[in-house]
Amino acid sequence: MGIIEKIKEIEAEMARTQKNKATEYHLGQLKAKIAKLRTQLLEPPKGSSGAGEGFEVTKFGHGRVALIGFPSVGKSTLLTLLTGTHSEAASYEFTTLTCIPGIINYNDTKIQLLDLPGIIEGASEGKGRGRQVIAVSKSSDIVLMVLDASKSEGHRQILTKELEAVGLRLNKRPPQIYFKKKKTGGISFNSTVALTHVDEKLCYQILHEYKIHNAEVLFREDATVDDLIDVIEGNRKYMKCIYVYNKIDVIGIDDVDKLARQPNSVVISCNLKLNLDRLLARMWEEMGLVRVYTKPQGQQPDFTDPVVLSTDRGGCTVEDFCNHIHRSLIKDVKYVLVWGTSARHYPQHCGLAHVLHDEDVVQIVKKKEREDGGRGRFKSHSTAPARISDREKKAPLKTYLSPPLPPPLASLSLSLSLSFMAKSSASVLVIYVAVALFLLFLLASYSPKNPNLPRQHHRRLKLRSNFSSVSSSPPSPSSSSSAAAAAASLEHSPIPFDPVIASLERRFEDREWEREHYASLHGDGDKPGKESLTEWEDFMKAEEYINDEDRFNITDRIALLFPKIDVAPADGFVSSDELTEWNLQQAARESMHRTEREMDLYDKDRDGFVSFQEYEPPSWVRGSDDNSSVGWWRQEHFNAADMDGNGLLNKTEFNDFLHPADSKNPKLIQWLCKEELRERDKDRDGKLNFLEFLNGLYDSVRDLNEVHDHSDAMTVVHGKKIFEQLDLDGDGFLSEAEIEPVLGKLHPSEHYYAKEQANYVISLADEDKDGRLSLKEMTEHPYAFYSTIFNEEEDDFYHDEFR
Ligand SMILES: Nc1nc2c(ncn2[C@@H]2O[C@H](COP(=O)(O)OP(=O)(O)OP(=O)(O)O)[C@@H](O)[C@H]2O)c(=O)[nH]1
Ligand SMILES: [Mg+2]
């Protein structure tokens, strides 16, 4: 029996089966059977290639639109009208037999329009040229379903059914069901909402039909059996479709009105060229193309040739934009300046993740130098010492205690004041006034604050606004994989050296945080949107403040902070340990501050404690498709953080909960060890054998510098050595307690960063190479400490063509 016959048979059985509670499992199973057969039907016969003769049209332009419909509805006529490309049109059916492409020039973009042969009922099973037509439709960005307005409304349903049968879903979004196949562990079935169509048993049956016995299923909406099957099949294509009713010239106005009011519909007449502009506008809207205009530095933007992005074709972020221009560009991009509706102020400094809007203007600011080598976040500093010393040679520091005057000016000013004290005669006074004016002029031109002089842009300090909504999220055990740990170390932002700078930065971070969580803190209301500009101004004002040497003199600041750092012992030198300790204090303050903010979110009854019930998974976990983030969410982690075991987390406990690797709570450390072990323990015997260690842990704990020969044999030999060192009781397995010594390598702690930063900064400023810093060395290299807020390219702010 052929596949089509089998489908027919099952369909007949479904038609015979009464629909009620008792039969719903059976019907669900039949649905899954049909879906599987339809998928088989779609697999191209062996030896054939893709769409078929005459149908393979090269993709061209910024988007692709397919015209599909029954024969003789006017598809070819429409293509000819919109693109100027002739496609044979005639009053008999099946005039068009292949795929004919044309180009629409619209809004500075080129859109490929494809005319296709008419399809008929049964197309999905291969009738006519149905299968080829459907294959081409699937390759397009949107579908225009052309319908004859004078024919029955049933045509639309038939076509929709045909397209559904081959896995095309029109004007629908993917079902909110998380589904992941696993190797072991059985089926875990969960839902975040009450389900009325599917229950656990039905889900098991459907999965059974697909011979899936280990999987995680999470329903995030009240989805149907068909939705579940769609998710399991995983090959559905969700497309936008506009229903185009042609030939409205032959029907009455009431009918036209009725059709025009249907969702996703446009009524047209090719013969009378009616409403074609509306059709184009609608098509444009649905395609969601984003035109981004590039602006070379110091020039006007190029408004003739936009870079065209779309969510369906690779995304609309700054990163996608850069990749569009050239793949190799991305590594040179420092940040971009954005003008347009996606920017909160003009221009906005944006990173690679910023999402661009249609008609934005973007200027790319490249890195000055390539920064290769190095490790983690210190990578970017690897060439810094040379650059900073270069700069110091070029211009003396703006912030030296009192900038020395040029010698002639200094002596003149001295003689001037002495002479005034001597109260000399009026004529002498006139001369002195003239000299004083001249002096003032000279002084004014000497002052670094004179706006007429070129800005000393190398010397500006810049505040960071490194807010990110995920920053305070608890680490998932899976982040212990070496790649994730490396990524985490890259993401760790520098620890502020100066508490004043840190508090300014925190204020801005708090504002951003509050905006992000406005709804949950104050109930659903209008977000405070207009504040962004004032906030930016505040930011600039704060930067003015720290760059005003009278008010914030970084040499004075260092002199003030020095005795606070030089404490163990207070010997006039700052050692690596002292600086590490200082950094650690600053980092702890930052971390505690963020924890306090997070507590505001979760401590709903405001009693100063977070209970397990209060701490529901945050939205980024609920919305995440990452399986691991659902997995770590469990009470065990919470209980481990609950040091006093009263079922509630106070501020310190909550902080430890968010940062287990930094905590001193032995229960949490134990929990972390357990999670790390569980993740690598493939045979689930509660301990790691050598193979599990080699595959899961070795790469993260070995010292890269130690091993030069990376052959398999050497890896095993060296791995064995480390394994034996860790295996304290020598039983050939690593227990939870035995992996504790390497926990620090899996989860770089704040101490690691604090030390790394201290050593780096000492390497910059330690002129006499004695491994410690004197006050003189520190005040002579202030930018080593303030480099994290150092801005090299201040000038970029002053391209104000768009203000
Ligand atoms: N009255 C009326 N007739 C139209 C209109 N648009 C197209 N037609 C006629 O409809 C007939 C079919 O047009 P085609 O463009 O060949 O239709 P098609 O959908 O490409 O047909 P196939 O290629 O066979 O699938 C032609 O005789 C056209 O003149 C319209 O707006 N009004
Ligand atoms: Mg045609």
**Mean pLDDT over residues 479-500, rounded?**
57
Separation between Cα atoms, residue 596 and residue 594, nearest integer Å: 5
Beta bridge partners of residue 102, listed in sequence order: 113
CA Rg value for the chain:
35
Q: How far is CA 230 from CA 27, 38, 39, 311, 526, in A?
A: 16, 12, 11, 22, 37
Q: How confident is the model at residue 637 (pLDDT cuts 50, 70, 90)?
A: confident
Token output for 516: 């992000």
Mean pLDDT for 209-234 is: 92
C-alpha span between 292 and 49 (Å, rounded) = 36
List of domains in the chain? 3-43+175-233 (no CATH), 63-174+237-287 (3.40.50.300), 290-366 (3.10.20.30), 407-447 (no CATH)
Residue of 486 and 72 predicted with greater confidence: 72
Atom of ligand 1 nearest to the CA of 71: 25
Mean pLDDT of all residues belonging to the chain: 76
Phi-psi region of 608 (alpha: psi -120 to 50; beta: other; left: phi over 0): left
Distance CA 23, CA 513 (A): 52
Specify the ligand 1 atom closest to the Cα of 69: 19
- Ligand 1 in reach of 247 Cβ (< 6 A): yes
Q: How confident is the model at residue 572 (pLDDT cuts 50, 70, 90)?
A: very high
| Nearest residue (CA) to ligand 1, atom 8 | 74
Cα 230 from Cα 228, distance rounded (Å):
5
* Residues 781, 88: Cα–Cα separation, whole Å: 77
Residue 702 pLDDT more than 80?
no
Closest atom of ligand 1 to 268 CA is 31
Least confident of 12-26, 453-467, 675-689: 453-467
Q: Assess whether pLDDT exceeds 60 at residue 734.
A: yes
What was the pLDDT predicted at 704? Answer: 54
Q: What is the pLDDT of residue 738?
A: 93
Each residue's pLDDT tens digit, 331-362: 888 888 998 888 888 788 888 889 999 999 99
Partners of residue 790 on adjacent β-strands: 461
DSSP result, 256-291: HHHHHTSTTEEE-BTTTTBSHHHHHHHHHHHHT-EE
Report the pLDDT value the prediction gives residue 776, as an integer from 0 to 100: 92
Instruction: Among 175-184, 275-284, 429-438, name the one with the lowest average pLDDT.
Output: 429-438
Closest CA to 495 of 353, 350, 377: 377
Answer yes or no: is the C-beta of 129 below 6 A from any ligand 1 atom.
no
Helix (H) or strand (E) holding 649: strand 648-649
Q: Which of 200-209, 574-583, 631-640 has the lowest mean pLDDT?
A: 631-640
Across 501-516, average pLDDT: 80
| 769, HSE (Cβ side, Cα atoms, 13 Å) | 0
Q: Is 71 in the pocket of ligand 1 (CB under 6 A)?
A: yes
Indicate the range of 35-39, 117-121, 406-410 predicted with least confidence: 406-410
Of ligand 1's listed atoms, the one at least distance from the Cα of 117 is: 25
Tell me what the mean pLDDT of segment 415-420 comes to. Answer: 36
Q: Which ligand is nearest to the CA of 133?
A: 1
What spacing in Å lies between the alpha carbon of 97 and ligand 2's midpoint? Answer: 8
- Using CA atoms, how far apart are residues 772 and 576, in angstroms rounded to an integer? 7
> Which candidate, 128, 127, 121, 133, places its Cα nearest to that of 162?
121
Question: Is the CB of 248 inside a 6 Å radius of any atom of ligand 1?
Answer: no
Give the per-residue pLDDT at 643: 87
| ipTM for the assembly | 0.98
Mean pLDDT of 94-119: 86
* pLDDT value at 626 more than 70: no
Mean pLDDT of 103-121: 88
Residue 100: closest CA among 120, 82, 85, 121: 85
Closest atom of ligand 1 to 80 CA is 15
The closest ligand to the CA of 151 turns out to be 1
In the chain, pLDDT over 90 holds for what percent of residues? 28
Percent with pLDDT over 70 in the chain: 73
Ligand 1: which of 270, 273, 279 to mutate, judged by most atoms within 8 Å of the beta carbon?
Answer: 270
Using the mean position of ligand 2's atoms as its centre, give its distance from the Cα of residue 121 in Å.
Answer: 17
Query: Is 659 or 418 the better-scoring residue by pLDDT?
Result: 659
Ligand 1 centroid distance, CA of 85 (Å):
15
Q: What per-residue confidence (pLDDT) applies to 708?
A: 59
Q: pTM of the entire structure?
A: 0.49
Element (H, E) at 148: strand 142-148
**Could you tell me if 399 and 555 are in contact, meaning their C-beta atoms sit under 8 angstroms apart?**
yes
Distance 95 CA to ligand 1 centre (A): 9
Is the CB–ligand 1 distance for residue 269 below 6 Å?
yes
Q: How many alpha carbons fall within 13 Å on the CB side of residue 595?
A: 22
Average pLDDT of the segment spanning 170-193? 90
Largest CA-CA distance found in the chain, in angstroms, rounded: 124
Most confident of 36-45, 468-477, 643-652: 643-652
- Residue pair 737/672 in contact (Cβ under 8 Å)? The answer is no
For ligand 1, what atom is nearest to the CA of residue 146? 19
Ligand 2 centroid–CA 351 distance in Å is 48
Best of 67, 68, 70, 76 to mutate for ligand 1, by most ligand atoms within 8 A of CB? 76
Q: Give the Å distance between the CA of 246 and the centre of ligand 2.
A: 13
**Sign (positive or negative) of CA dihedral 272, 278, 282, 283:** positive
- Range of weakest confidence among 74-83, 164-173, 235-244, 593-602: 593-602
**Distance between Cα 567 and ligand 2 center (Å):** 86
Check pLDDT > 50 for residue 802. Answer: no
